[in-house]
Chain A
Amino acid sequence: MSKATVRRKKRQAGQEIIEFALVSIFLIPMLLGSFVVGINIIKNIQANQVVRDLDNIYIHGGDFSTYPLQQLAQRLAQGLNLQFPAFSTGTNNVQANTGSAGDGIVWVSQVMYIGATTDPNCVSVGAGNCTNHDNFVFTQRIVFGNSSLNSTNPSMLGDPVGATLSTGGNVQNYVTDATAQLTSSAEAALKARWQTTANGQTPLTDGQVIYVVEGYFQTPSLSLGNFSSKGVYAQSFF
């Protein structure tokens, strides 16, 4: 190799790197972005499929207060890292089986619309006692997964705080107990979706039940600079 060539090589050393760096300014963010978006789409699809499948099981009588059904949910949510504590020996039903591990939480709810005071639900308890008339109420609520996610990313329906729930998640006195009602924001959201005549819909009538499964799954591994994603939420109304 001639001396001139060596000199030219020295002058050109690193040129491709600089050029590649210039291109990378566009390429790498695009790759990272598409990676994050792609994974999020996948997680979103997974989450939607999980809540849909769980809701399908639920509406057909599946009891998610039992460990075998919660384990089934865990298997369906493979890859979403849904974790919860094992039941203690002799325990068959747990309404809220939550721990601090894992990246997911699932809420399983049965919501009923209580009609006017003249409708059967109110008549059965006496119109004067029908605290929850013209409202949506929880008639069942089961939750399992990572409880810390419940505070950062709560259920869209809220929680039946103060209501008396059995180990199977059934809400007692849901016609008369005001704490069985959904939160006001959830009530408004459900009424906007259900008690409307838009799109050819008709409002629900007294006693109609909605089987709802919600899931939130955080995706901490996808926090890449500005391309971060906290997680995906999915819900299903059956």
Chain B
Amino acid sequence: MTPTGQRKRGERGVSLILGTAAIVFVVPMMGIAIDVGFLYSAKDKLQASVDGAALAAARALTLGSTTAAQADSAKQNAVNWFYANFPQSAWASKNTQMDITDTHVHVYDDSTNPNVRHVDVTASTDVPTWFMRWFGYDAITINAIGNASRRDVVAMIVIDRSGSMNNNNGCSNMRSAAKVFTGQFAAGRDQIGMVEFGDTSWVDSSPTTNFRDVLGYTASGTSGSGLIDNINCNDNTGTAQAISLAYNELYKVGLPGAFNFMMFFTDGIPNSVTLNFQNVMLSSSGCWDSAGQSLSSGKGNFVTNPPSWTPGWTMPSGYYNPNIPAGPIGVIASDDPSGSGSYGVRKYQGVSQGNPNHGTISSGNAPGCSFPGNESNYVQDFQKLPPTDVWGNSLVNNSYNPITTDGSGNIVLTSSADNGTPLSGNNLTFHLAARNAADSAAFQARTNLTLPVTVFGIGLGGTSAAPPGYDFMQRVTNDPNGDLYNTPALYPACSAEPLCTSSKTQPQGVFIFSSDTTKLQQAFLAMASQILRLAK
């Protein structure tokens, strides 16, 4: 055996040698770990960059007047966003590959849903290594792929052109803002139409891909001249009819694969509603039925031969509510409560676009009735209202605006104002009924099983003596949030308001309140931004 002392002398420095030898292995191992970590980090950033580029590209599919131009915009936006997130030399990278060619940005239609477009973004870059280069790997190429989609939009804008809109430049500011709003959407792919309403409504345009020209926005800005430019403001606020007409247009287009919504704008509480008076006429009215017989002769109502007070009222096929009857249909309307003002029964539909004065029911189409001579004489012919409007929207909602009904479900006109004396308050029965009906119309639009739509809403203050109630607008849009746009906040969350309800199971829209007319455009643009974020 070798003496212990000699062995030990021979082993001197072994730890040092072993430690040094270990470093030869440990250092490269740690180096590889660091390199891989660095590469992973760079890959993560590259992935975030292509994700951002894809989403920005999808958003840009609204820019351009043709689908080809929109694809070009998308590709350009993808490049813009990519390099903003991942500049040249980021992470010491080299040879970054990303440009507008199809290789890197591919825009294409969905194979099954014609209303969806996709954008795929691909990028690559060479990331240098610090330690792995010892083994011949100077740089590693990393790749990332991102994609995003955009649904086409089918929309109706519903524009309140009541008389109060003329105050403080409301009407002109609304026209400008509405045009800019439509300009945010994709011409040639999206479809937008318009309904305008006072106490009666008018379908200016069904949804069309040519909306920029038809409605007045052009690719160059707001210099166009179209249907929005022709809106004149006058009359009252028949909200329910307008919402139902607008929904009907969406229903007729019938593209559930697209993003269907209604953009509802108003400056006042609903104060008008369109009704069929067939079953509520007094037998003493003196009105004649279509056979020329007076109710006072004993018929009691118009069950057998209801006259048509509005000969133009026909319901072609394709409407979402197939049971809308013909008959003695009119609009019961009043000005906003102000102590005096006009009220009464009027023709159901506006005469034409650009002529917002409501129609008048004449003695020619309502023979024998009292109100053709003086619209407010309606109380001599009926003192009740039917429980629904012509679209089936309920005028009765005791959890919202309670209304007295009789045993048949008809609404009893109870207040003195309802019975013909000058207007004196906010709670006229048909004001409450109009509010309930509008709420019901929006509910029907959101919950229709064939085509549920999202309702967005902009309310305007500073023009009407009775601006739209916050809770009313929250209900119509099914927006659970409080005011997120004004400082200080003007209203709380829906859950904190006694008369507000919202449902998570229905499409949830957004309500924005513009406190004066100068802020309207920003409100419309903010709304467009919200909508476009959801069109994915």
Contacts and interface: CB of A to CB of B under 8 A. Distances in A.
Contact of A201 (B79, B481, B489): B79
Interface string B75-108: 0100111011101100000000001100000000
A38 B8 contact: no
A1 to B, nearest CB: 8
Nearest to A38: B37
Given A49-B44, A166-B489, A200-B79, A19 B34 contact: no
Given A20-B19, A194-B84, A209-B529, A30 B51 contact: no
Contacts of A76: none
Contact of A60 (B22, B492, B518, B536): B536
B484 A63 contact: yes
A42 B111 CA distance: 40
A165 B529 contact: no
B103 to A, nearest CB: 13
Interface stretch (A97-105, A118-126, A147-155): A118-126
A170 B521 contact: no
A124 B484 contact: no
A12 B45 CA distance: 55
Contacts of A202: 76, 79-80
Interface string A158-176: 0000001111111011110
Nearest to A92: B493
Contacts of A61: 530, 533-534
B400 interface: no
Given A30-B27, A45-B40, A167-B484, A124 B522 contact: yes
Contacts of B34: 34, 37-38, 41
Contacts of B99: 200
B26 A93 contact: no
A15 interface: yes
A166 to B, nearest CB: 5
B56 interface: yes
A23 B20 contact: yes
Interface in B1-38: 3-5, 8, 12-16, 19-20, 22-23, 26-27, 30, 33-34, 37-38
A3 B448 CA distance: 102
A19 B530 contact: no
A52 B51 contact: yes
Which of the listed residues A44, A48, A202, A238 has the most CB atoms from chain B within 10 Å of its own CB? A238
Interface string B489-512: 100110010000000000000000
Chain A at the B interface: SS class: helix
Contact of B8 (A12, A20, A93): A12
B414 interface: no
B176 interface: yes
B4 A5 contact: yes
B492 A45 contact: no
B525 interface: yes
B222 interface: yes
Contact of B81 (A93, A169, A238): A238
Contacts of B27: 30
Contacts of A121: 525
Interface size class of B (residues with CB under 8 A): 35 or more
A26 B485 contact: no
Contact of B483 (A42, A90, A167): A167
Nearest to B13: A19
A4 B485 contact: no
Interface in A101-133: 119-121, 123-125
B94 to A, nearest CB: 13
B221 interface: yes
A9 B56 CA distance: 74
Interface string A1-28: 0101100110010011001101110110
A92 to B, nearest CB: 4
A119 B220 CA distance: 9
A221 interface: no
B321 interface: no
A194 B83 CA distance: 8
A197 to B, nearest CB: 10
Contact of A45 (B41, B55, B80): B41
A199 B79 contact: yes
B481 A22 contact: no
Contact of B80 (A37, A93, A201): A201
A230 interface: no
Contact of B83 (A38, A48, A175, A199): A199
B142 to A, nearest CB: 14
B180 interface: yes
A201 B20 contact: no
B486 interface: yes
B522 to A, nearest CB: 7
Contacts of A23: 15-16, 19-20, 22-23
Given A23-B19, A59-B533, A166-B487, A41 B52 contact: no
Contacts of B22: 23, 27
B177 interface: yes
A19 to B, nearest CB: 4
Contacts of A193: 83-84, 87
Contacts of B83: 193, 198-201
B85 A236 contact: yes
B68 interface: no
Contacts of B13: 19
Contacts of B493: 92
Given A5-B4, A48-B48, A61-B534, A123 B15 contact: no
B85 A5 contact: no
B482 interface: yes
A141 B493 CA distance: 20
Contact of A38 (B3, B33, B79, B183): B33
B222 A22 contact: no
B526 interface: yes
Interface of B: 3-5, 8, 12-16, 19-20, 22-23, 26-27, 30, 33-34, 37-38, 40-41, 44-45, 47-48, 51-52, 55-56, 59, 76, 79-81, 83-85, 87-88, 99-100, 176-177, 180, 183, 221-222, 481-487, 489, 492-493, 496, 518-519, 521-522, 525-526, 529-530, 533-534, 536
Q: Which 7 A-B pairs have the closest CB atoms?
A: A168-B484, A23-B19, A19-B15, A41-B37, A124-B521, A52-B48, A8-B5
Given A4-B3, A12-B12, A93-B482, 10 more contacts: A30-B23, A41-B37, A56-B51, A59-B533, A60-B534, A66-B481, A200-B100, A201-B80, A201-B83, A202-B76
12 contacts: A19-B13, A23-B20, A30-B26, A30-B30, A52-B44, A52-B52, A166-B486, A167-B489, A172-B486, A207-B525, A236-B52, A238-B81
